[in-house]
Every structure is written in structure tokens, then in C-alpha cells.
Chain A
Amino acid sequence: MIEFNNVSKIFENGAKGLCNLDLFIDKGEFVFVVGTSGSGKTSFVRLLMKEIEPSGGQILVDGQDISTIRRGKLPYYRRKMGVVFQDFRLLKNKTVFENVAYAMQIVEATNREIRRAVPQVLALVGLQKKAKAYPSQLSGGEQQRTALARAIVNRPPLLIADEPTGNLDPDTAWEIMTLLEDINDRGTTVVVATHAHDIVDDMQKRVVALRNGELVQDVGVSSFPDLGGIIDEA
């Protein structure tokens, strides 16, 4: 599904984003990418979204070298993935329903399809009663659930979450993680960049730890050690 082959990213100011990263994430996996600030988590997500280009190496998604995707085709590549950000990034002038429907409108779904799919996905994230609310009328957790609903409404094979619980209290953070796990159970590959080690410890999923842009540990589910230590160290 996702393959990073010797990928490096050095920014114009000389800062290192990633250093010779080799990584393979299989279809249907749930992977945490962990590390402290500046470890390269966000660079990893931005490279995967093709928001920035690597300085070296090759990134394959579904077998396709994403460096070959032309700018005009980029939106179609991004439609294969749902993305959730720490700051939710909802359209503030649209209601919850409209924010979710927006992702379907850009793929020119019919109104009938939108009216059918959006309530279903809102029910999945527990927001069916908030469909007419605007983002400013929602709590942080509700906004993140709206962003999650928008990310999955088109049933993308890949879901990327960049610090999805960063702005949430522990209980709400758990609700979001549980939802991500449910989505993964339905077959979607989920990649979560986070530094919330307590959640990572408890969820017992594959953990890729980065430090200064380098892969310092890749811990599979079968050999689950003391993850809190890895994240703190990373």
C-alpha cells in the first residue's frame, strides 16, 4: 500500500525532515508514526499527501510512484486518502452536513448519493443530531469527528491522521482513537502521526518511531514492548 524507499527530505533552510527512510505499510494495517516535535512525523504525512516533494528516494502508493503524478492529477490522488488534522480544518461557513457533503461534491456525487451517504457516516461518528450545526457551535471532539466523517465519506482505502488528538482532552481523544480503530476494522489502512504515548501504549498497534528524521524503531503488533519508552526516547 505505502512504500518509502530511502526517502529523504531536506528543506531549503537546511532543516532535515526525513533521512533515508525505508518503510512499508501493508493494506489494512493500523500504524502509529510517533516521535517528538521535529522528529519528521509531519514531513512524513506531507510527503505522503504530496504536499512537498522528497529530496531523494521514492514513495510508492498502491504501486504508483507518486513523484510521477502531475499537478493536475494531484486532486485525484488525494481523493484516494482521507486526511484528518490536529486543527480539524473544517469549512467554517458550512454546517456539519455540508462539510462532509463537500468531499462528495468535489467528486461530483449526485444529491441522492450525498443525502444517503452523509447521514450514514454522521451516524457512524455519532453526529447525526449535529448535522445542522456550524463548526463554531461544536466542541473540539465533535469538530474532529466531523473531520473524520469528511475523511471517510468517500470510502478511501487510506486514512491519514496528523496529531488527531492533539487538541482534545483524554476522554475525547480515546473516542477518536476508537473511531479510527472501527474504520480500520472495516478494511481502511490507517496511519496516525502522534506523540500521545499513552494512547499508543494502550492501542497495541504497529509503531514506527522517528527521531531527527530517521527511523529509530519499527515495532510490530506481535512483538509489543514498552512503547512509552520508545516514544519518550524518540
Chain B
Amino acid sequence: MKPRTIKYYITEAIRSIIYNRFMSIASIFAVASSIFIVVIFYTIGANVEHFMNQLESQMGMAVRLDEEITTSQQVLLEQRIRELQHVAGVRFLPREEALASMERTMGEAAVRGLERDNPLRDSFMVELTDLAFHDEVERAILNMHSDGVAEIHSEAEFARTLTMISNVVSIISAILVLILAGISVIIITNTIRITVNARKTEINIMKYVGATDWFIRWPFVIEGMIIGLLGGAIPAIICWFGYSRVIAAIDAIPQLSFIEFLPHEHIMAYVVPFSLILGVVIGLIGSITSVKRHLKV
């Protein structure tokens, strides 16, 4: 293909967008609105998953230690627990700190008199990489009974429920994004098809004059890609400027301020390329399939 022919295709595509500006604008907004819905669902899904992961990481288990455990045994035990698979971290919680924490949670009256005869034990607070491995880790630590483990305290049932909710949210958001992306492709292909149908006479004329299929197709393909790119840029821009504001607004609500959202740059690293590439691909598919119908003359 000669450079002047490429230049001709691009010029024709831009001219066509301007000439058919109302249909072009309609197509751009069809692309933009569909991708925007997909982006919203992706953002919500990603943040829910992030929130669940945070909850999971805060959940763990308390390994109560034997009263008679020596300092060297304690160091060795901590080392062994750390080395277990799926253990993200181990923190030593002295019995005094545990009592202070209990006092903060349950009130001074509940712990009155216990300062002199603290019934709590020293513990290791074990954090897991994934709550799904809770039972596995728990079994492994229980096997360390002879190394100074007295008992394990955990909220296993709650952990399992949380894992299940997290998985369901991930699956639902993935399915929703796929369904919405599919619907977007159909809507946008039809919109572009209407644009091309309106110009079938033009395509017929080109065929009669002796234009090859690709000579006719290229300007439409480039036009579809430009429309898709512009349509993809709109949700990307809205998300770029809107995401931080929405987070700030939610953070301002005291009851929801505990939620920690994914950072702006993390979301944008996915949303911007996803919107632009999806827009271009949709424009490409839409224009190629639409023009194909009119080329058999």
C-alpha cells in the first residue's frame, strides 16, 4: 500500500466522520455509554474484591502458648509458624497487651481484678495470605502441640463465610463485565451498521466504479476505529476525573469511612487501556462486519 493511499484512507475516514457527524456522534456515545457501564462494574467489582482481601488479611488466628514455654522455645515456634505455607505474618501478643485490648473492647468492669492474676496467655497472632487456607494452617499449627502450642482460637466459620462471599463477588463481577461487554458489542455493531447501511448506495457506487473491496473497506475501518477510540476515551476521562471524587464523597460519610478503596493509579492502569482498546476493537468489528454485507455487488 502506497503512503499516499494510506493518507487518502485516513483523510476519507475523518471527512466521513465530519460529513456524517450526527451518526458519528450517536455511535461515539453508544460506544461511550456501553463501555462506561462496563467500567463502572469493573471498578465496583475490583473495589469489593479489594475490600474482601483487606478483611481477609485482618482475619487470622490466635495461637495461645503454654504457660511453661521458654524464650528459646518461643523463638523457635515463631520461626516454625512463619515458615508455614500461606502464613503472611506472625506477631507476638503478650498477655498484658491482650488484657489491655480486652479492657478497651469490653470495658474496665470486665477486667477488674484480673490485673493481679491475668488468666490470659501469651499468643502469636497469625495472619494468612488467603483465608481459604485457614484449616490447613490450623492443622499444621496444632501439630506443633509439643513445641509449646496450648490452643488455637479462630473464627473459622466466619472466615469460611467471608471466603465464600469474596469468591461469589469475584465470579458475579466477572460474569457481569463479560455480559455487559457482549451487549456493548451488539449495540455498537448495530449502531455502526445503521451508519454503514445509510451509505450502502455510496458503497455500491464505489464498486461500480471499480474500487477493490479493501479500497472501500479501509476508510470505513479507520472511521470505525476512530469512533471506537473516541467512544472509549470518554469513559476513561470520566473515570480519571470522577474516581477520586467519588471516593472522597464516600470517605466523607462517617459510617463508610472504614472502607479502603483501590488507589486511583491502580484503577486507571486497567480502565484507561481497557476502555481505549475495547473501543477500537468494537469499532473495528462493527465496521468490518457492516461493510461486508454491501460489498457483494
* Chain A interface (Cβ < 8 Å from any Cβ of B): 49, 51, 72, 75-76, 78-79, 83, 85, 89-93, 102-103, 105-108, 110-111, 150
Contact = CB atoms under 8 A, between A and B. Distances in A.
Nearest to A98: B15
Contacts of B208: 49, 51, 78, 83, 85, 89
B5 interface: yes
A78 B207 CA distance: 9
A106 B4 contact: no
A89 B215 CA distance: 18
Contact of B210 (A85, A91, A107, A111): A107
A106 B16 contact: no
Contacts of B20: 93
Given A89-B205, A93-B16, A75 B212 contact: yes
B19 to A, nearest CB: 4
A77 to B, nearest CB: 8
Q: Tell me the interface secondary structure of chain B in the complex.
A: helix
B171 interface: no
A102 B209 contact: yes
Given A93-B19, A111-B4, A103 B202 contact: no
Contacts of A108: 2, 4-5
Please classify how large the interface on chain B is, using the bins under 10, 10 to 19, 20 to 34, 35 or more.
Answer: 20 to 34
5 contacts: A75-B212, A85-B208, A93-B16, A106-B206, A108-B5
Contacts of B16: 93
A91 B206 CA distance: 9
B116 to A, nearest CB: 94
A75 B211 contact: yes
A22 B235 CA distance: 64
A60 to B, nearest CB: 19
Given A75-B207, A89-B201, A108-B4, 7 more contacts: A75-B211, A75-B213, A76-B210, A92-B202, A103-B210, A106-B206, A110-B4
B23 to A, nearest CB: 12
A93 B15 CA distance: 9
B210 A75 contact: yes
Contacts of B204: 89
B4 A91 contact: no
Given A105-B8, A110-B4, A91 B212 contact: no
B269 interface: no
A124 B70 CA distance: 110
A78 B19 contact: no
Contacts of A90: 205
Interface-central residue, B207, B208, B209, B212, by most chain A CB under 10 Å: B209
A49 to B, nearest CB: 7
Nearest to A80: B210
Nearest to A87: B201
B6 to A, nearest CB: 11
A76 B210 CA distance: 6
Contacts of B207: 75, 78
Given A51-B297, A91-B205, A106 B210 contact: yes
Interface string B188-202: 000000000000011
Contacts of A79: 210
Contacts of A85: 208
Interface string B134-174: 00000000000000000000000000000000000000000
A141 B141 CA distance: 96
A214 to B, nearest CB: 27
Nearest to B208: A83
B198 to A, nearest CB: 11
A107 B2 CA distance: 12
Contacts of B8: 105
Nearest to A51: B297
Interface string B1-40: 0101100100000011001100000000000000000000
Contact of B209 (A72, A76, A103): A103
Contacts of B19: 93
A91 B211 contact: no
Contacts of B297: 51
Nearest to B297: A51
